Amino acid sequence: MEYGLIGEKLGHSYSAEIHPLLGYNYELKELKPEEVEPFLKKRDFKGINVTIPYKQVVMKYLDEIDDKALEIGAVNTICNRDGKLCGYNTDFVGMKALIKRTGVSLNGKRVLIAGSGGTSKTAAAVAKSLGAASVYRLSRSEKEGCITYKQAENMGADFFINTTPCGMYPNVLSESMDINLLKDLKGMVDAVYNPLKTVSVKKALKRGLPAEGGLYMLVVQAVAAAEKFLDKKISQDETERIYNIILKSKEEKSL
């Protein structure tokens, strides 16, 4: 493998359609938990992306970790530089671009983030960087500083971010939580991109709220990863071109 994606289940992924548009071959490689360490130690790749559930697991096998990824506590991009594995977090720029796309300012807002994994940590860092007054991560149990979904119902949240796999193909009817319970909501984003609009996104749009599925985040983080892989700058125009190609393709398939 030269370039590719590792994760436990990748049947939902669009990455193998996005990255070739950036000029290189890209493979999907599903790994069981016990296969992650030998794969990384073999170092038989130039660059890879990392998805659920390995964004935190991979960190202990890397030689260098970018300051932002270290601060967040999650890596989704790894470059093999002459045998040295270097980790980055390009999800940060992807999530930031996705939130800004809604047009909702997080400055002074109360933000709820569904999930306790690597992407939720990234989303929390993004929300804080955008001036959120308070940020709460949600889990079924109170772990890693998270609150429960039941507690979140009465928080008066302004903005909701789903970073769980809930709603992802093939379980398209599932939700991390019913966002209709969040009466003060002013907008939301969902890291899930397959389907283009999850149940949560559809509910928000029905209420007239700004809401975005995760496809734009996926494309932006992929372009940022490609910049690391290829050591070159890629224009915003190219990012928009690729996004529109993938969006059109997926919209046509859903008809």
Q: Which sequence positions are flagged as catalytic?
A: 55
Sheet of strand 187-190: strand arrangement: 134-138, 110-114, 159-162, 187-190, 211-212
What torsion, rounded to 10 degrees, do the Cα atoms 57, 116, 213, 29 define? 20
Contact indicator for 215, 95 with CB cutoff of 8 Å: no
Residues 6+ apart with CB under 8 A from 251: 196
Q: Give the list of residues 6+ apart from residue 60 with CB closer than 8 angstroms, or none.
A: none
Residue with tokens 């506590």: 73
Strand ranges of the sheet holding 77-81, from the earlier edge strand across to the other edge = 27-30, 3-7, 47-50, 77-81, 84-88, 64-65
Spatial separation of the C-alpha atoms in residues 9 and 5, rounded to whole Å: 11
Question: Which residues, in sequence order, are bridge partners of residue 212?
Answer: 189
The residue type found at 150 is K
CA distance linking residue 4 with residue 49, whole number of Å? 6
